[in-house]
Structure 1
Amino acid sequence: MYFSSLFAMTLVGLAQAIDVQVVSVGKSATNSTGLKFWPETVTAKVGSMVQFQFWVGNHTVTQSNFDDPCVPISNINSSIEGIYSGYQPVEASASKNMIPTYTITIKDEKPLWIFCSQATHCQGGMSMVINENTSANASRSLANYKTLAESATGSNLVPGETSGDGSSSGDGSSSGDGSSSGDGSSSGGSGDSTSGSDTAISTPGSTPTAGSPAATDTTIVGGAARFSSPTTLLLVIAAGFLLL
């Protein structure tokens, strides 16, 4: 009995330690819509996750470096795969009462510059940063990134291509590990793309802070199977051990 109780306490502790922040794409918690990520700046610890929830339109989550906004980072440096969600058409998932999601795991605390590569959304201001570090370099801010983006050329750029084909379609199956390194001056930070899947529709959460929303707030769907949130699953397992 002691072992079962200890095991259950350990599982609950692990579940509570999960840190997931949500970024709403194309639509805010107050139902504002536009070419924007909500929030546009996120501070995320190493090992934590950032989940992008696509609410309207057909957008992407694409990593660039600071100096070349609106261009996939792998197009600048072919040795870096970078983060790329693929196009996420919401309408197809909405018919199933789902929304597309894309989750990354933060590997370091260096800045990750993110933009939407659909058409000229990036030039129109659809960009954000994870772990902005203006204390290290005041000029490398999201505001300055957006200013540079206004004059960027090219549209519908995808990793590995120098020009877009305007196909604007995809299922988010593409992935990248963002295994670049740097201080935000060129390559940027690192993040592993954990998953691209659909999530049951609910109203977007309020602007997230570190550790919120909890990992219990969403139900992740992978393939044809529905998987409950990590915390719920762990508690079910723990309950089984308590009955031993």
Structure 2
Amino acid sequence: MPSYRSFSNLSFLALFLVILSIVSAETINVAVGGDSLIFSPQNITVNKGDMVQFNWTGGQHSIIRSDGQGSCTPSTSLKSGNATISDARTSGMVIFTIDGSDSKIWYYCGVGNHCKMGMWGVITLAGSDNSGTKANTSSTSAKSSSTRLGISGTVNGIIPDIRVSINCEL
């Protein structure tokens, strides 16, 4: 039978690992709009637990998940309301916490012809195929990976600031 002391040590270790994962989480800021029709940076790489904060910097824009680079069609794997901000907005922010289910998350602006003008982006899970850096990188192909990053969740806040909780698996 395990002793109280070994249980206590395991509990402390588990608590330490949870705190360590929280402390190491990073917030990656993405500017939405402004003087041009872009998400800046367009391509980002994140770690599990990181937060991606989309900040509206001007103009009317939205965030809609797609199935591939530069695709201007809503994802077939994500139904409306799940971590998709389809209502066009001109200010505020949206925060996604990354916890895992697809190796890449492609998204675009669904306002007018913004996507066709190049307003799309990708979030890549670090360690998956084609992962870049936390800075702006270029990616020309989407490779599949067993590492999963995904977004499914619910909107917990109200406009102008929306916080989206993302519950996924690695």
* Percentage of matched positions with identical amino acids: 22
CA displacement 1:129-151 (0-9 Å, x = unmatched):
11176649xxxx74468xxxxxx
Q: Is the 8 A contact 1:88 1:100 kept in 2?
A: no
Report the count of equivalent residues.
134
CA displacement 1:4-31 (0-9 Å, x = unmatched):
xxxxxx8x9786444211100013xxxx
Instruction: Quickly say closer, same or farther: Cα 1:51–1:192, change in 2 above 3 A.
Output: farther
Q: Is the 8 A contact 2:69 2:141 kept in 1?
A: no
CA distance in 2, matches of 1:126, 1:198: 22
Instruction: Quickly say closer, same or farther: Cα 1:189–1:66, change in 2 above 3 A.
Output: farther
Larger RCO (CA within 8 A; separation ≥ 6): 1
Question: Is it true that 1:113 corresponds to 2:106 in the alignment?
Answer: yes
Determine which of 93, 116, 120 is the counterpart of 1:101. 93
CA displacement 1:159-211 (0-9 Å, x = unmatched):
xxxxxxxxxxxxxxxxxxxxxxx928xxx840245655567xxxxxxxxxxxx
Counterpart residue number, 2:65:
63
Determine which of 191, 199, 202 is the counterpart of 2:151. 191
CA displacement 1:101-160 (0-9 Å, x = unmatched):
111121326011111011111111001111176649xxxx74468xxxxxxxxxxxxxxx
Question: Is it true that 1:22 corresponds to 2:29 in the alignment?
Answer: yes
Counterpart residue number, 1:46:
48
Q: Which has the larger radius of gyration?
A: 1
The structure in which a higher percent of residues are strand is 2
Q: What SS does structure 2 have at the residue aligned with 1:129?
A: strand
CA distance in 1, matches of 2:97, 2:38: 21
- What do you get for the CA RMSD once the two structures are aligned? 3.7
Q: Is the 8 A contact 2:107 2:122 kept in 1?
A: yes
Give how far 1:84 is off. Answer: 0.9
Instruction: Quickly say closer, same or farther: Cα 1:36–1:126, change in 2 above 3 A.
Output: same
- AA paired with 2:144? D
Instruction: Quickly say closer, same or farther: Cα 1:144–1:189, change in 2 above 3 A.
Output: same
The structure in which a higher percent of residues are helix is 1
Counterpart residue number, 2:11:
none
- AA paired with 1:100? G
Instruction: Quickly say closer, same or farther: Cα 1:44–1:59, change in 2 above 3 A.
Output: same
Instruction: Quickly say closer, same or farther: Cα 1:196–1:59, change in 2 above 3 A.
Output: farther
Q: Any unmatched runs of 5+ in structure 2?
A: 1-15, 132-137, 164-170
- AA paired with 1:118? V
TM normalised by structure 2 equals 0.61
CA distance in 2, matches of 1:125, 1:196: 29
Counterpart residue number, 1:85:
85
Give how far 1:89 is off. Answer: 2.6
Q: Any unmatched runs of 5+ in structure 1?
A: 1-9, 28-32, 91-98, 146-181, 200-219, 223-244
TM normalised by structure 1 equals 0.44
